[in-house]
Amino acid sequence: MISDPRPALLALINGFQVTQAIHVAAVLRVADHLDGGPRSAGELAALTKSDPDSLYRLLRALAAVGVFREDEDRTFALTPMGDCLRANSATPLGAWAEVVGSPYYWLAWGHLLHSVQTGESAFQNLNGKDVWRYRAEHLEQGTTFDRAMTQLSGGGAEAVIRAYDFSTFCHIVDVGGGQGLLLNAILRAHPHMRGTLFDQPGVLAGAGTALTTDGVIDRCNIVGGSFFDAVPPGADAYLMRLIIHDWEDDEAVAILRVCRRAMPETARLLLVERLVAPPNEVRATKFADLNMLILTGGRERTREEFSDLLARSGFELTRVFPADTHHVIEARPR
């Protein structure tokens, strides 16, 4: 007998409710207030300046899906999932929860139909500007997004280092490297190596702090600019983590050709990206692809699509290394 498929489908349909509930808990910093141990809903309401009854209803709903744990006396405690919402968590996701529940992001997803029917970015259509310009003009949103990207890079950096042998390189340029978390980790793992962190000047603000704290700033240059214009030349490896997926093919080719012009013939290009899996597999990547369609107009790609894209840009794809949920795609100048 076939089981009723409706409950599972209904859970998917109503998934937006959990997204928004986690977003509110992240904005209110509930997990940070629970860092020292369980607290009552009343205490948390005072700390977050919230209505006690409404906050209790929010927290008990999140406890029902495992984000918090509710005890009989209306006290709440962190679970392993809830701990990820703490600012100082070893596996932080709070900033991303803030981003995805924000009105500007949420509204764009509400216009997915436009993207599907036209092939256009819903965000661009709604706002008359791309998401990068929007975040530059709304500094709070841009700062939260940059913090989210740094958080999401954390565990991914270790996975990349485990997956790929960087030891043969002497100088690596991290193109679009943000606050430098991945480059920082690579330099710490390879004391002989020099690095260059390259991104837009506004993004790089404060990037030197962690590099200094971790003792690698003396081996790292921080350079501002646009990867559509030029990137620092002469290194033996050029790294881009989750950059190419933000762009459609023509823009992606333009970025890659700029890198190609800067690279010696012996250098290597390393793209850290998701790879679209075969049919019916790895839903996270396929929904990330929709996110690219809506927000940036970009896309996730298959291995074959990356190979074609690289060939158009003057590269040959040589090897692909699994790195947890992502892959390290290695290419050489052709």
Catalytic positions: 245
Positions of E strands within the chain: 39-40, 68-70, 75-78, 171-175, 194-199, 220-224, 237-241, 268-273, 315-323, 326-333
**What gap in Å lies between CA 221 and CA 211, rounded to an integer?**
10
User: With 0-12 CB in 10 A as exposed, 13-18 as middle and 19+ as buried, what is 158?
Assistant: middle
**What gap in Å lies between CA 293 and CA 329, rounded to an integer?**
22
Q: Is 206 left (phi over 0), alpha (psi -120 to 50) or beta?
A: left
Q: What is the DSSP letter of 297?
A: S
Give the CA angle between residues 107, 92, 131 to the nearest 5°: 30
**What gap in Å lies between CA 291 and CA 47, rounded to an integer?**
34
Strand partners for 175:
198
Q: Are the beta carbons of 89 and 150 closer than 8 angstroms?
A: no
**What gap in Å lies between CA 2 and CA 74, rounded to an integer?**
40
